Structure 1
Amino acid sequence: MNQKSAELTTPVRNFSVQLSPTPRGARLARLLAAEQLRSWGLPQDPARQLVAELAANAAEHGRVPGRDFRLTLYVVGDFLRIEVTDTRGERLPCPQAPAPDAESGRGLLLVEALAHRWGVVEGRFPRKTVWAELSCRATEYTS
C-alpha cells in the first residue's frame, strides 16, 4: 500500500460534548475524554491531563453565566487534537510563571510541557478555542 492510499484509509475519529463551565463540568470533560480515548485504544495520559487543564481554564477563566464550553477530540492520522471552546473570546490565554508559593496558575505551563503543539484560535465573537496536539505514534505517546 502506498502512502497516498494509506492516507485515504486512515480513519478520522471525533468526539464532541457541551458542558457547563463549572468545576463539575471540567471534571466531567476529563472523565468523558478518558473513556473516549480508551474506546479508541489510545493511552489516556498525557491527553487526560491536557483535557483537565484546558477544561479547568474554560470553567474558571472562560465562564459566562448561561453559556457552556465545548470539548472536542479529533484523531487524524498520527495526531490527537484536543479543543476546548468557551465564550470569553476577549480573554486569550497567556502562559506566565506564577509566584513560587502560588497555588494555581501553572495550567498553561503544563500544556506547553505536555503537548507537541498548542495554540488558540479566535472564533466568531464571543468564542475562542484553545487546542493542544499530541502524536499518537506508539514511540511518542505512551501512558
Structure 2
Amino acid sequence: MNIFKAFIIKIIAIFAVSLLILGVIFNYSFEHVLAISIILSFTSFVLGDLLLLPRTSNITATISDFSLAMLVTWFYLANLTLYVTNVFFASVLTSISVAVFESFFHRYLKVRNVQNAEKRQRDIPLRYQTEASEEITPTKSRIVRKRKQK
C-alpha cells in the first residue's frame, strides 16, 4: 500500500476529529488544532501503524494510539495554550474519538497490506531448491562396512 496515501488519510481524519472536538466544543484556535493533529498524526503513524501494528493486534495498537493521543493532547493543551478550560476532559474526548478512528484505520491497513502481500507473492516466481544426500539416515550395514574398512 502506498504509505503516503495512508498518511494523508490519517492526517485528514485526525484533523477533522480534533477540529470537531477541540475547535467546536472547547473553542481552541485553528492553529492549535492543526498543530496537535499534525504532531499526533506523525507520531501515531510511525509508532503505531508502521512499528506496532504489524507486530501486534488491532486492539494493542488502538490502545497505544489512545494513550499516545491522550499524552500529546494533554501535554500540548496544558503547557502551550493559555485557555482555562478543562484540559483533561478535552484530552480524554479527543483520545477516545481518535482511538475509534484508529481501530477502523488499522483494519483498513491490514486489509490493504494483505492484498498487497498476496499480489507480491503472485508476482515472484517460485524457485525451489533441494539438497540430497546418500547418508540421510545411517543403516546398520553401512556402519559395519565402514568399520571393516578401517
Give the TM-score taking structure 1 as reference length.
0.32
Q: Which has the larger radius of gyration?
A: 2
Normalized per residue, the structure richer in strand is 1
Give the TM-score taking structure 2 as reference length.
0.31
Normalized per residue, the structure richer in helix is 2
